[in-house]
Structure 1
Amino acid sequence: MPSRESLQIVTKRKKQPHRQRSERKSSLFPAAALGLSPPSPASTFWQPIRSFALSQLTSLVRRATLRESDLAPKYEKVHNFKVHTFRGPHWCEYCANFMWGLIAQGVKCADCGLNVHKQCSKVVPNDCQPDLRHVKKVYSCDLTTLVKAHNIKRPMVVDMCIQEIEARGLQSEGLYRISGFSELVEDVKMAFDRDGEKADISCTAYEDINIITGALKLYFRELPIPLITYDAYPRFMEAAKVTDPEKRLEAVHEALKLLPPAHCETLRYLMAHLKRVTQCEKDNLMSSENLGIVFGPTLMRAPDLDAMTALNDIRYQRLVVESLITNDDMLF
């Protein structure tokens, strides 16, 4: 007959599984109360792998989104309406009503071809989508019009010239200060107007890098609206006249907000390039001050200024460009 001690041991062993089950249930109660499924050994094992895969997928999506935004910028552009005489009957593309009259019945956008009444042109939204059939040149073309027509982020002239200069000309002495032959600079201009991004500006076509720098400066000089626009010009001049360096930097930053997105992006890209030019100053002898002297009047000009005022502004134009080059990482 079993003793009392052995019976107690057997009873304890029988009660132990029940106690473990009850402890497991009590440990699962908080998860059930929160509406969560209890973690299993398999899910605990796969959780780090799932987290890593999710992070990689998120990173891929983010990179794809950034690439998409780089390729398809959404710049707002106003229509370039001009009075037009239509042949035959025409209807307004905004209000869908007939255009009456024999001559000058309405206006036509020179960039996208939109036909509307003169009154309707005042309320048409800024959604111009330039058509390459109407935008047939690169130089002397409005900057925003050009980038929207070609669906690019910056003018191809700026990208292609800067890439060529950085590939073979950063150590060239007097870069941007020395001018290339004007006839060859005109050839580059005609190549861009004729062939666009297919223009050949390689060293085999133009060995002298000063021809490429001359073509880039000519592009900015011939913009109908300067890179630093007429509307933003007074604010940049005021910023240049601030004596305190920190306050001047803040004033320049505020002035940058007045630029259209396409102008601001092109200016950012150009200033980053000029910063790299100054990093080779020992070879090319071009400091930020020297580049400011070259690019000041090229990038910004004020309309309707007398000769003395314009001459006085050259000093402040240099200060603006010099400040943009030196502090490009903080301003853009």
Structure 2
Amino acid sequence: MVVLRISRIFKPDIMERDWNLLYPLTTDILILYRMQLEAPVPVPIICDEVPSDLPSYLGRDYHGAISHVDASNLLSGQPNGAYLVRSSKSANGQFHTLSLKFNDKIHHYKLFYDPKSGLYVREKRYDCVRSLVADGLVTMYIDLKAPAILQCLSNANYQESPYMTLNKRKLRALSRENAKNRNLFNDSYNQNSQLAQQILGQTVPDKLEKAHSFKLTTFKGLNWCELCANFLWGFTLQGKRCEDCGVIAHVKCSEKFANDCVPDLKYLRGVFGIELTTLLSAYKAELPFVVTKCVAEVEARGLTTEGIYRLSGFAEEIDAIKMALDKDGEKADLSVDKYPNINVITGALKLYLRILPVPLITFEVHPLLIDAIQHDKKDLQLSSIKHALLSLPKPHYDTLKFMIEHLYRVALHAPINKMNSSNLATVFAPTLIHHPPNIIWDVRSDILLLEIMINNYDKIFMK
């Protein structure tokens, strides 16, 4: 069964061509994999009496406020893998102590609890102490035994074995694929650099860098780190995967990756609530299609609609549009035949902008813009706003420019639609600008800022 599981990680053509090469590889891997199965199993030491201070997230393996010596005595005659949980006077309620027998020695670890993510010793989170101990025993056992095993393998010229050969092939293939994806995006990015320079009035970077978004993950089957090519040990939470591009790494190796993430659409969960730079990198686009599609509908049939953007559409129809855009992407149908009420289109657009993880006007740039509007002289005010906007990431700048230009055109029809720049600024202030929680902010400054930007679109965004 293990051989069958291992075979699934290789492509069929490799299996057919290189079986002679693969057979020794499976032997090497089985040796390493078997080590996990040989690790001690958790043996909880059950407390005879339920302690009065038993926390809700611990079980019968909790012994209350017993001493270091008492814990060692309880574990001394037990097999490797035996464990118990106790409290400590020095902890002041901040943590408990996990006492564990391994390699015939008693070890003690600080055991923490987070109501949102569960129990943990270092970084990994677990639902119960038993799962934590099981994973820890595997890691400790491999750390103890692996050096000797690997030394034996290295004595047999392990660096030239099929295991290392195929993993080096895999890393080279991944590197070529990632480089190809980065080059495709950077080529698309650079094609528009001249236009971007005209818009921004400054030199645009030659390439767009994005950090990986790593998250602890439990992997099924056998997996390798895509930085060092070594096996991911353990049964749960063995390493990290980038949520945007899918690259896999050890926890420590994940800290060494360069800012070379190229998001892959298959890892994105829709488009709503996805960070703007990540979304545009994945789609290799300059503007989010949600914004361009909704704006196109509004400009085609909503510029003269009274109360445009102020009136709300039906919530269920807005949710339907969101689901369609998340599922069908750019192919989603927003036509008048499908959604005759233009207010549901504007509602979906405002929802998209409102739930961006990083607001269109970022937290860092917002104070600069508020300072800029304090100037009494209009020319200095506008030039300060223009300069502050240059600090925005390019995806944010381009999308904000597109939206302000659109709102400027909407305001031109104010005699008919009753939505002048002040009204539009009032509607969009909480949508384009977010504030950190527990901070009281004068929303009137945000409204004034957007009103100035709409009224002076050409002077702020055009050279």
Structure-1-length-normalised TM-score: 0.73
- Contact 1:233-1:301 within 8 A present in 2 as well: no
Q: 1:328 aligns with which of 444, 452, 457?
A: 457
- Contact 1:75-1:262 within 8 A present in 2 as well: no
Q: Does 1:80 align with 2:213?
A: yes
Q: Secondary structure of 1:133's partner?
A: helix
Q: Secondary structure of 1:248's partner?
A: helix
Sort the Cα spacing of 1:328 and 1:94 in 2 relative to 1 into closer, same or farther, 3 A. Answer: farther
Q: 1:283 aligns with which of 416, 419, 440?
A: 416
Equivalents in 2 of 1:119, 1:252: separation in Å?
Answer: 42
Q: 1:215 aligns with which of 348, 351, 359?
A: 348
Q: Secondary structure of 2:336's partner?
A: coil
How large is the Cα RMSD of the aligned pairs? 2.3
The Cα of 1:182 is off from its aligned counterpart by: 1.5
Q: Secondary structure of 2:452's partner?
A: helix
1:2-17 to 2 correspondences below 5 Å: none
Sort the Cα spacing of 1:97 and 1:330 in 2 relative to 1 into closer, same or farther, 3 A. Answer: farther
Equivalents in 2 of 1:216, 1:80: separation in Å?
Answer: 26
1:1-332 to 2 correspondences below 5 Å: 68-69=191-192, 75-306=208-439, 309-310=440-441, 312=442, 314-332=443-461
The Cα of 1:161 is off from its aligned counterpart by: 0.5
What is the one-letter code of the residue matched to 1:327?
N
- Contact 2:244-2:262 within 8 A present in 1 as well: yes
Sort the Cα spacing of 1:133 and 1:305 in 2 relative to 1 into closer, same or farther, 3 A. Answer: same
Compare the two structures and name the one with the higher strand fraction.
2
The Cα of 1:227 is off from its aligned counterpart by: 0.9
Is the deviation greater in 143-152 or in 245-254? 245-254
Equivalents in 1 of 2:411, 2:422: separation in Å?
Answer: 10
Q: Secondary structure of 1:249's partner?
A: helix
Describe the superposition over 1:279-330 as per-residue Cα deviations: whole angstroms up to 9, x where unpaired. 1111112111111111111001111333xx23x2x11111221122122223
Describe the superposition over 1:94-128 as per-residue Cα deviations: whole angstroms up to 9, x where unpaired. 23344444443322110100112333333322221
The Cα of 1:162 is off from its aligned counterpart by: 0.5
- Contact 2:324-2:332 within 8 A present in 1 as well: yes
Query: 1:19 — aligned with what?
Result: none
Q: Secondary structure of 2:225's partner?
A: coil
Equivalents in 1 of 2:251, 2:190: separation in Å?
Answer: 40
Sort the Cα spacing of 1:130 and 1:288 in 2 relative to 1 into closer, same or farther, 3 A. Answer: same
Gap regions ≥5 residues in structure 2:
1-187, 197-206
Structure-2-length-normalised TM-score: 0.53
Equivalents in 1 of 2:189, 2:214: separation in Å?
Answer: 34
- Contact 1:75-1:261 within 8 A present in 2 as well: no
Equivalents in 2 of 1:241, 1:121: separation in Å?
Answer: 44
- Contact 1:241-1:316 within 8 A present in 2 as well: no
Gap regions ≥5 residues in structure 1:
1-64
- Contact 2:382-2:459 within 8 A present in 1 as well: no
Equivalents in 2 of 1:283, 1:168: separation in Å?
Answer: 13
Equivalents in 2 of 1:213, 1:263: separation in Å?
Answer: 20
What is the one-letter code of the residue matched to 1:145?
T
What is the one-letter code of the residue matched to 1:82?
K
Equivalents in 2 of 1:100, 1:67: separation in Å?
Answer: 41
- RCO greater where, 1 or 2, for CA within 8 Å and sep 6 or more? 1
Question: How many matched pairs?
Answer: 262
Report sequence identity in percent. Answer: 45
Equivalents in 2 of 1:79, 1:66: separation in Å?
Answer: 19
Describe the superposition over 1:35-74 as per-residue Cα deviations: whole angstroms up to 9, x where unpaired. xxxxxxxxxxxxxxxxxxxxxxxxxxxxxx999539xx96
The Cα of 1:206 is off from its aligned counterpart by: 1.0
The Cα of 1:152 is off from its aligned counterpart by: 1.6
Sort the Cα spacing of 1:241 and 1:107 in 2 relative to 1 into closer, same or farther, 3 A. Answer: farther
Query: 1:39 — aligned with what?
Result: none
Equivalents in 2 of 1:182, 1:302: separation in Å?
Answer: 25
What is the one-letter code of the residue matched to 2:192?
S
Equivalents in 2 of 1:143, 1:251: separation in Å?
Answer: 25
Sort the Cα spacing of 1:225 and 1:94 in 2 relative to 1 into closer, same or farther, 3 A. Answer: same
Q: Which has the larger radius of gyration?
A: 1
Equivalents in 2 of 1:67, 1:175: separation in Å?
Answer: 37
The Cα of 1:204 is off from its aligned counterpart by: 0.7
